[in-house]
Amino acid sequence: MNNGPVIFLGLFFSMAISWVAFVLGPQAQLAGLQPARTVAPVPAGYPNPRPGLAQQGELVYRASGCVYCHTEQVRPKELGSDLARGWGVRRSVAHDYIYDQIVLLGTQRLGPDLANAGLRMDAMAVLLRLWDPRTVNHLDAGHSIMPAYKYLFDVRKIGRAPSPEALVAAPNWAAPAGYEIVPRPAARALAAYVANLRQEAYLFEAPPPPGSPAANVLTTATNAPAGETNAPAGGTNGPAAGSGVPALPGGTNVSAPQTTNAAVK
């Protein structure tokens, strides 16, 4: 008996079920997500689209292979030490990635997580680290395995005046006398992208830790649109003031006395 067709159909349906579970399922659950409202300290829309330069930097980030060594996902306290290391203020949730065409969660974590890199470094610090990873954090002096991305920079003679975009590095990392290190457009875009990575807004699915000042705001917050309630506009279920109808505890639906056309005796 030839079992080839049976084996083929079994493999086909196994692959089909896996594809539905891992592709169609998340697409159905998350594809329609809209910006959420933050809960502390001031309710606002989150997230916001990245600036144009940061969007260009995402392409440089992918092309430079940064995604192979850095993740962009803060794990919850129960699954790792990301929060204890200061890599984030809360765990990452689906709302953090709704503007990402390709979610760069990463494949390995050989370097620090970058989901909140913008809270730790500005664009100049990112550029200095790209020029030489051991120029920013002294703890990296003998331990960092990150390669230098010096092809993203130009070392050129200083003209009539130094370039305002030149790196401001320590003397032992600076360019030779009479020269300056100027980042190329790709380097500036990449630095803008990394400096724009922030997941600091507290959401209802990722609330602030209990006992924090932000948690006190959460107790009075609501996910209803601002300025709206469930009550009818301009009124309640109770009788209008001066109607002569006695109020019942907890509100009332008692109707006002009915009038007729009969003469009052």
pLDDT band at 134 (very low <50, low <70, confident <90, very high): confident
Query: What is the DSSP annotation of 46-73?
Result: E--PPPHHHHHHHHHHHHTTGGGT----
Compute the chain's Rg from CA coordinates.
Answer: 29
pLDDT at 224: 46
Instruction: Give the DSSP letter of residue 261.
Output: S
pLDDT at 62: 94
What values do phi and psi take at 86, rounded to 5? 85, 20
pLDDT at 241 over 70: no
Question: Please, what is the angle between helix 123-131 and helix 185-195, to 10°?
Answer: 120
Residues 62-105: tens digit of each pLDDT? 999 999 999 999 999 888 889 999 899 999 999 999 988 888 99
Residues 10-64: tens digit of each pLDDT? 898 899 898 888 777 777 776 677 888 888 766 788 898 999 999 999 999 999 9
Distance CA 187, CA 126 (A): 9
Asked whether 110 and 69 are in contact (CB, 8 A), the reply is: yes
pLDDT at 204 over 60: yes
pLDDT band at 264 (very low <50, low <70, confident <90, very high): very low
Domain residue extents for the chain: 39-209
- Burial-class residue 95 by CB neighbours within 10 Å (0-12, 13-18, 19+): buried
Question: Comparing 67-71, 143-147, 151-155, 240-244, which segment has the lowest mean pLDDT?
Answer: 240-244
What values do phi and psi take at 13, rounded to 5? -70, -30
Bin 195: left if φ > 0, else alpha if -120 < ψ < 50, else beta.
Answer: alpha
pLDDT at 152: 95
Asked whether 194 and 118 are in contact (CB, 8 A), the reply is: yes
The Cβ of residue 60 has, within 10 Å, a number of other Cβ atoms equal to 22
Residue with tokens 């390669």: 147
pLDDT at 251: 44
Distance CA 57, CA 194 (A): 8
In the structure encoding, which two tokens stand for residue 160, read together?
């009539």
Distance CA 252, CA 245 (A): 10
pLDDT at 232: 47
39-209 placed in CATH 1.10.40.50: no
pLDDT band at 215 (very low <50, low <70, confident <90, very high): low
Distance CA 261, CA 243 (A): 19
- Across 204-209, average pLDDT: 85
pLDDT, mean over the chain: 79
To the nearest 5 percent, what fractions of the chain are helix, strand and coil?
35, 5, 60
In the structure encoding, which two tokens stand for residue 127, read together?
């550029």
